[in-house]
Each structure stands twice: as structure tokens, then as C-alpha cells.
């Protein structure tokens, strides 16, 4: 036993000693001699919803001045299914102005992020978020994180049903520890026998080996990139009614440069469950990963590696042990696209919904484009709700016909109507934060992608392709927050000004891209794309997407790690799976 314990990662020891995530966070917060937390607490803070960072733009200068880094914190608020009320939006706006850097960032997991929060502001910020009936617990850390859900299916009752399931799973898998309330909300502290009896019924004392991500999708929309997550539920709808969900397991984007044992993987559809089984199936798969996941190597700790190491048959056997039954055979489904639909749309209940483009998810006021002020004005009159999308945009939802004109005027006067003028590639562009705050970033991302897209737009116009929908995503490191391995053009940071160029994912999110060039600069990227766009313009089939063209031309080489959803469908025709590619 001692030998086995010695092999565990340092983070496992921190969790085990933390007394259910308390650690020495209270002491770290009280230490005014530094803007940082104690080292162990920087791991535990993630479970409470925030990361310690510093401004890397000034890191070298502060080092020369013999100052500690400009420590600051990113706080993430969970928003299950991306739905928040106008009151909650206004609260986040006010919190960003008072405690953070004055901007709101919409994430690729339908959550809010606040940047630039200093240590003395952590507690009032987290308390204010909770006062708005949102929270930050489990927004990060080795637990199930924000549960995603399709934003805008055509049938409103169906969306509500699937959202309710997503919200119920989110609530069920929220950690039970009292540490969060004690530290941030001045809750009563557990002592004596009550403290000794505290437990986590689902996670246990050391939680999961690594992060765990979930999503719900309603075909034909794949706006959540359903195959990118540890566990996903694909709604099976017949005659407008929800029959149940196909269950997809083992997706994940994280990679380590230079380590071939790490790889992106698409989730495998392993079965079907009824709507009333969603919570118990979710809990069972979380517990299976809790017990079987690799706690000796955090680079090998995600569910995708557990599934590849042990096999699908093993997973089904584990499910029977936990549930007393196995999943049913997967049902037919079909995805057509990822991304968001912008502009006004009407659902079957007669309500209107306005999709607004927020470049890289950063809500701010810059010049005539006053997105922060405009969305504040909309929130002050909106009777419906906001829906944060998985693609860093926002939907102003449940708008009555009579209220459209007032919202249109706010949108026009604040420069929020850019969707009318944007090229498809810009609409389908995603970027992580990258520099200057992310400690993992190796290259620029959010600050650079808009400029690069402009140069790519010029190439597309040169080849009469500017109206062609193409997905492009950029991350400053290989961890994959913006899901770059699922874009037709993916750029993954290797160093300042250097990126790995990945090409050829499916437009509907059912096939990974491939590494095409390594450690290239902008000029190299543009040269490659110029030639490929020329070939695409001359040789493409009607309605053929760019990624599919590259695959058909034999320009891509794929790894064996579930690059196309689902690779087993041709060998298991009885499943009846249908995935367009």
C-alpha cells in the first residue's frame, strides 16, 4: 500500500490532506505580505472556481525591479446549460466593474469568466456571484464542471426538457463539501463529530483523478461539440418527443507537446438510456472514472485514457455493476453543423431569439462597439433570458414580437449588429485567452486571432471563397480550451509567434483534424492556406466543406485515436448509428 501511495501525483496528496478542499485557503487569504496563495492552495482554489495567474506582459519588468509577479485571479462562474436571467447578467456586469478588469468573458463551456481580480477582492467577488444565484464551486478542478447544453433548437419545449436534464445532472454532481460555504459565504464551520463525519458521497475524499466535462446536444445541431467531452448525451427525438439519449464517453482535447502518449480523442457512443436514467448513468460513469482513472500521471488521468486502456467491454461490465443494467443499443442520429446561428430566429412557441456575435467571447466597450453597455441596456428591459453559447456568443432569448424594435435599436446604437457584416470564417472563429494572463500559454491567442482572420479573409476573397463557411480555432497551448482539434483550421501555440497548423476536421464536429505543419509562423500559415484555397476553389465538389475536401484529396494523415465519430459504426451496423461527415 505504501509503495502504491508513493506513486500518486503531488496533487493527489494535496487533495487528501485538504479536509475536503479547505486546505489553508483562509490563511492564504489573510496573508497580506503577498498577492499570491500558498502553493498547495493554488491547486485547491480551482475546485472553488478560480485560478491564480499573473500579468505576463509585465513579468520580466517586475522581475528586474525585484518585485513578485503581478498576481491576479481568474474567477469562473458556472451557468448550467448557459442560461442566466437578466438580473444575473446585470450582477456579473456590476461585479466585473467593481472587482475585476471591467470586462466579461464568455467561455467555450457556456460559463462566465472574470479576469484581473486581486486577492483581497476574491471573497467579495465570489460572495457577490453567489448572491446573484450563480456560483463558482466546481467551475474548475478535478470534478464535473459546467454542464453544457444546446442553446436554441427549433422546438422550445424540447430545449426546456433537455436543459432541465442538464441542470439536474449539474446539481446532482456538485460537490457536497461545506468548505465553499465556510470560506466564501461565512457559513457555519463544521467542528468535532460533524467534521469527522463529513464525506463526499459521489467523489470521495480525493475527488476525481482529473477534470470531467459533460454536454447535452439536440441533433441536428452540434453547437456543444458533443464528442469533445468526457460524457455527453445526444437527444433522440421522434415525432417531436424526447425518447432518450445516446451516451457518448471518452472525449477530450488536452494534449502535451512532444508526448505521443497524449492525444485528442472523440467520445465513443456506447449506448442509449431513457431520460429518467440520465442522472444515475452520469453518476455511475463519474464513479467508474473516480475508481479506475490514473492518479499517478495527470497527463494520463482523463476518462479517454481509461477507456482506451481498458476497453469498451470493460466499461459495459462496470456499468452493469453500478446500475444493475447495461445501456441499450444506440439510436440513429445526424449532425449537420457546429457553431451558432446569429441574428433573429423564431421558435415554435412564437418567441424570438437574437444571436449576437461576441468576438472571442470578450464583452467590452471599445470605440463605437459598446457591447458591455449594449448588453447592459438589453438586460434592463429584457423579460426573457440570456443564453451563453458554447462558441463564445450570446443569445437574447424569449423576446416577444412587441419588444423586438426596442432591442433592435439598442443593438444598432451600440454596434452589436456585426453579424450582418461578418464573413462566415470570422463567425466560426474561436480563441482561448492566451497571453497575458493564462499561465499555460506559449503563444498569443485571443489578442491575435482577429488580426490573422483578417489576413485569411483576404485570401478567401482572392479565391472567391469569402462566403464559404469554414471553422478556425486558436489556442495558446495544446490543452485545447477552444477545441482547436475539431476545427477545419486549427492553430495550437508552440512558442511566441509559432503554431502547429492542424487541418481537416469535419464541419459538423464528427472528425478530428490532423497535424499538417509544425512550429510555423504566420507567413507560413498564409502561404499554405493560399495554395489550399486555390485547390479548393478549383476542385471542390458542390456543397463540399473545406475539411472534407482536404480529406478527399489525400492531404491528411490521421492518428488512430478516434479521429472520426464513430469509428465502430461500420463494424456494428446493428447500432443504427448515422453520423454525417
Catalytic residues: 76, 145, 211, 213, 432, 438, 477, 481
Rounded to a whole number of angstroms, the CA Rg of the chain reads: 23
Q: Is the peptide bond before 220 cis (omega within 30 degrees of 0)?
A: yes
345 by DSSP, 3-state: which? strand
Neighbouring CB atoms inside 10 A of 496's CB total 10
Give yes or no for a contact between 56 and 352, defined as CB atoms under 8 angstroms apart: no
Angle at the Cα of 222 (from 219 to 227), degrees rounded to 5?
Answer: 110
C-beta contacts of 423-426 below 8 A and 24+ residues apart? 423/457, 423/460, 423/466, 423/467, 424/467, 424/468, 424/469, 424/470, 425/453, 425/456, 425/457, 425/460, 425/468, 425/469, 425/470, 425/471, 425/472, 426/359, 426/450, 426/453, 426/457
**268-273 and 343-346: which strand pairing?**
unpaired
Give yes or no for a contact between 271 and 331, defined as CB atoms under 8 angstroms apart: no
CA 330 – CA 576 distance, rounded (Å): 7
| CB-count exposure of residue 541 (10 Å: 0-12, 13-18, 19+) | exposed
CA 368 – CA 415 distance, rounded (Å): 6
CA 453 – CA 473 distance, rounded (Å): 10
**352-356 and 394-399: which strand pairing?**
antiparallel
**214-217 and 231-238: which strand pairing?**
parallel
CA 470 – CA 428 distance, rounded (Å): 7
C-alpha torsion angle, residues 61, 67, 68, 71 (rounded to 10): -70
CA 302 – CA 289 distance, rounded (Å): 8
CA-wise closest residue to 343 among 353, 333, 335, 351: 353
- The DSSP H or E segment spanning 74 is strand 71-77
Q: DSSP letters of 388-448? A: E-TTS-EEEEEE-GGGHHHHHHHHHHTT--GGGT--HHHHTEEE---TTT-TT-SS--TTT
* Residues ≥6 apart with Cβ < 8 Å to 413: 374
Give yes or no for a contact between 81 and 149, defined as CB atoms under 8 angstroms apart: yes
Neighbour-count burial for 103-128, b at 16+ CB within 10 Å, e otherwise: bbbbbbbbbbbbbbbebebbeebbeb
Q: How large is the angle between the packed helices 371-381 and 404-413, nearest 10 degrees?
A: 160
Q: How large is the angle between the packed helices 312-323 and 278-292, nearest 10 degrees?
A: 120
| C-alpha 360 chain-centroid distance | 13
Give yes or no for a contact between 37 and 48, defined as CB atoms under 8 angstroms apart: no
Amino acid at each position: 500500500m505504501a509503495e502504491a501511495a508513493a506513486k500518486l501525483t503531488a496533487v493527489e496528496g494535496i487533495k487528501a490532506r485538504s479536509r475536503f478542499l479547505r486546505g489553508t485557503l483562509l490563511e492564504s487569504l489573510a496573508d497580506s505580505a503577498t498577492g499570491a496563495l500558498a502553493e498547495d492552495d493554488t491547486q485547491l482554489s480551482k475546485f472553488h472556481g478560480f485560478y491564480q495567474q499573473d500579468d505576463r506582459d509585465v513579468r520580466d519588468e517586475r522581475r528586474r525591479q525585484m518585485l513578485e509577479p503581478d498576481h491576479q485571479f481568474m474567477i469562473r462562474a458556472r451557468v448550467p446549460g448557459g442560461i442566466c436571467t437578466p438580473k444575473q447578467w446585470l450582477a456579473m456586469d456590476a461585479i466585473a466593474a467593481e472587482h475585476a478588469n471591467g470586462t466579461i468573458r464568455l467561455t467555450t463551456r457556456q460559463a462566465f469568466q472574470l479576469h484581473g481580480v486581486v486577492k483581497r477582492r476574491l471573497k467579495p467577488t465570489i460572495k457577490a456571484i453567489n448572491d446573484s444565484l450563480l456560483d463558482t464551486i466546481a467551475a474548475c478542478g478535478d470534478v464535473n464542471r459546467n454542464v453544457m447544453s444546446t442553446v436554441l433548437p427549433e422546438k422550445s419545449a424540447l430545449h426546456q426538457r433537455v436543459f432541465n436534464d442538464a441542470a439536474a445532472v449539474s446539481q446532482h454532481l456538485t460537490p457536497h463539501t461545506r468548505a465553499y460555504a465556510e470560506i466564501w459565504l461565512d457559513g457555519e464551520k463544521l467542528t468535532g463529530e460533524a467534521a469527522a463525519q463529513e464525506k463526499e458521497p459521489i467523489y470521495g475524499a480525493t475527488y476525481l483523478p482529473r477534470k470531467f466535462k459533460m454536454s447535452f446536444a439536440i441533433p441536428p445541431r452540434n453547437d456543444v461539440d458533443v464528442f469533445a467531452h468526457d460524457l455527453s448525451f445526444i437527444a433522440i427525438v421522434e415525432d417531436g418527443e424526447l425518447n432518450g439519449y445516446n451516451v457518448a464517453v471518452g472525449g477530450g482535447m488536452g494534449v502535451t507537446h512532444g508526448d505521443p502518449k497524449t492525444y485528442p480523442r472523440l467520445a465513443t457512443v456506447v449506448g442509449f438510456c431513457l431520460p429518467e436514467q440520465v442522472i444515475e448513468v452520469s453518476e455511475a460513469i463519474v464513479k467508474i472514472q473516480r475508481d479506475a482513472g490514473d492518479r499517478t500521471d495527470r497527463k494520463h488521468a482523463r476518462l479517454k485514457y481509461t477507456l482506451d486502456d481498458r476497453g469498451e467491454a470493460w466499461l459495459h461490465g462496470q456499468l452493469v455493476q453500478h446500475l444493475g443494467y447495461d445501456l441499450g443499443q444506440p439510436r440513429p442520429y445526424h449532425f449537420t453543423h457546429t457553431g451558432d446561428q446569429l441574428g433573429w430566429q423564431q421558435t415554435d412557441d412564437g418567441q424570438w431569439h437574437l444571436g449576437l456575435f461576441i468576438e472571442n467571447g470578450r464583452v467590452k466597450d471599445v470605440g463605437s462597439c459598446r457591447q458591455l453597455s449594449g448588453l447592459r441596456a438589453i438586460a434592463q428591459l429584457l423579460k426573457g433570458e440570456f443564453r451563453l453559447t458554447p462558441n463564445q456568443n450570446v443569445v437574447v432569448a424569449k423576446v416577444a414580437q412587441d419588444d423586438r424594435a426596442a432591442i433592435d435599436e439598442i443593438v444598432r446604437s451600440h454596434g452589436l449588429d456585426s453579424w450582418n457584416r461578418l464573413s462566415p470564417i470570422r463567425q466560426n472563429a474561436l480563441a482561448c485567452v492566451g497571453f497575458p494572463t493564462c499561465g499555460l500559454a506559449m503563444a498569443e491567442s485571443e489578442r491575435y486571432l482577429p488580426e490573422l482572420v483578417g489576413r485569411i479573409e483576404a485570401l478567401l476573397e482572392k479565391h472567391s471563397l469569402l462566403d464559404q463557411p469554414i471553422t478556425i480555432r486558436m489556442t495558446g497551448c495544446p490543452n485545447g480550451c477552444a477545441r482547436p482539434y475539431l476545427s477545419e483550421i486549427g492553430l495550437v501555440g508552440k512558442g511566441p509567434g509559432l503554431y502547429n497548423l492542424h487541418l481537416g476536421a469535419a464541419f459538423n464536429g464528427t472528425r478530428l483534424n490532423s497535424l499538417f505543419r509544425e512550429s510555423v509562423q504566420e507567413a507560413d500559415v498564409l502561404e499554405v492556406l493560399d495554395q489550399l484555397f486555390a485547390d479548393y476553389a478549383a476542385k471542390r465538389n458542390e456543397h463540399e466543406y473545406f475539411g472534407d475536401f482536404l480529406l478527399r484529396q489525400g492531404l491528411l494523415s490521421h492518428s488512430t485515436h478516434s479521429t472520426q465519430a464513430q469509428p465502430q459504426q461500420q463494424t456494428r451496423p446493428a447500432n443504427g448509428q448515422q453520423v454525417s461527415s
